[in-house]
Amino acid sequence: MSQKVSTYFKSFNILRSARTATVWHRNQTDIFHCGEITAKMTTICVWALLVLLACPVDPFRTLYNDRKDPGPNQDQTDPKDYHQDARRREEGKCRRCCDPGEDTPHQYSSQNYPPYQIVPQINITLLKGEKGDIGDRGPYGKSGRAGQMGPPGHTGMKGSKGSMGLPGESCKSYFAAFSVARKKGLHSNDYYQTLVFDTELVNLYGHFNMFTGKFYCYVPGIYYFSLNVHTWNQKETYLHVMHNEREVVILYAQPSDRSIMQSQSLMLELERDDQVWVRLFKGERENAIFSDDFDTYITFNGHLIKSKNEL
């Protein structure tokens, strides 16, 4: 009997020790879970504070602590009554006058504000009419600054050959020439004598006057002249080729037993209406040129070399 009691007590102690250990383990587990829950609650509180700070607060809403004499039916108060009470409390203070659901303050009631109207949106494309006429062209604007020259473009294709133009004026050629002769001899006198010719060999366009014995220039330019005479035996030969009234060259031969042919040539640049002629010197001494009716001994020639328009 005593052995059974002893065994019973030993078993009871063992069970009590196991229960004590189980309770202690449970207490440790509960403490650990409580710590986790506390950390989570702390995190939630922090986030709640951040959300409250970030959200705007209605400046016209009266805090719960500021309310006076809260009634038993405070939670069932009508929002319109609440706003009217708030307007009464906020009268005389600086506030906005455009809050929704509120009447216009009395200090602004004298001003006539246009009422708000809802304007319907109309699709203009559905009401589009016909295209109008082109308007008048507007005035030209001011010219801008000249830009920089661009790079040269590519060479274009060769065009087709054009039509032949109208014929131009023909090239004008100018001519003047004469050749005259004398078949009678001439002796000097007390005055100068113009050598007049009686035979016309060539007289182009009649520029040499046979009556006056002078060549008249009608085509300005450079001319060539030549004079040929036959001297008289034992007599002097003394003549001048004249340009207008100026002595240009002399043809001279001394007295001799034999008669000879004597000549002179020159070129002159003439203007229009200039005159070229031959003059026999006056008779300070015996002066003569020889000729007869059978042969021609005295000749005077001239022609245009180049006109002034071609120089």
Residue 17 zone, left/alpha/beta (φ > 0; ψ -120 to 50; rest): alpha
Label residue 65 by pLDDT band (50, 70, 90): very low
pLDDT-derived band at 63 (thresholds 50, 70, 90) equals very low
pLDDT score, position 159: 87
Residue type, 104: T
| Statement: the pTM of the whole predicted model exceeds 0.75 | no
Task: Report pLDDT digits (tens) over 83-111.
Answer: 565 566 555 555 555 555 555 555 555 55
pLDDT in the model for residue 41: 78
How much is the mean pLDDT over the chain? 77
Residue 31 scores a pLDDT above 60: no
Could you tell me how far CA 204 lies from the centroid of its own chain? 61
Q: Between 165 and 95, whose confidence is greater?
A: 165
Cα separation, 205 vs 244, in Å, equals: 21
Highest mean pLDDT among 29-43, 67-81, 159-173: 159-173
pLDDT band at residue 59 using 50, 70 and 90 as cut-offs: very low
CA distances from 12 to 2, 25, 36 (A): 15, 20, 36
Q: Alpha-carbon distance 182 to 228, whole Å?
A: 10
pLDDT-based confidence at residue 273 (cuts at 50, 70, 90): very high
pLDDT at 67 over 50: no
260: pLDDT strictly greater than 80: yes
Residue 43: what pLDDT? Answer: 83
Q: How many CB atoms lie within 10 A of CB 270?
A: 24
**Which pLDDT band, with edges at 50, 70 and 90, does 30 fall under?**
low
Q: What mean pLDDT comes out for the span 284-291? A: 86
Dist CA 69 CA 237 (whole Å): 166
Number of residues that make up the chain? 311
Could you please report the per-residue DSSP string of the chain? -HHHHHHHHHHHHHHHHHHHHHHHHHHHHHHHHHHHHHHHHHHHHHHHHHHHHHS---TTSPPTTT-SS--TTGGG--HHHHHHHHHHHHTTS---S--TT-PPPGGGTTS-PPPP-PPPP--GGGG-----PPPPPPPPPPP----PPPPP----PPPPPPPP----PPPP----EEEEEE-S-EE--SS-EE----EEEEEGGG-EETTTTEEE-SS-EEEEEEEEEE--TT-BEEEEEEETTEEEEEEEE---SS--EEEEEEEEEE-TT-EEEEEEPPSSS-BEE---SSS--EEEEEEEEEEGGG-
Residue 178 CA, chain-centre distance (Å), reads 63
Kindly state the average pLDDT of the residues 154-169: 84
- Beta strand 221-230 with 199-203 is unpaired
Per-residue pLDDT band for 124 (boundaries 50, 70, 90) equals low
Report the pLDDT averaged over residues 191-217: 95
If you search the block for the tokens 């005035």, which residue do you land on?
139
pLDDT band at residue 229 under the 50/70/90 scheme:
very high
pLDDT, position 165: 84
What is the average pLDDT across 31-51?
72
| More confident position, 153 or 126 | 153
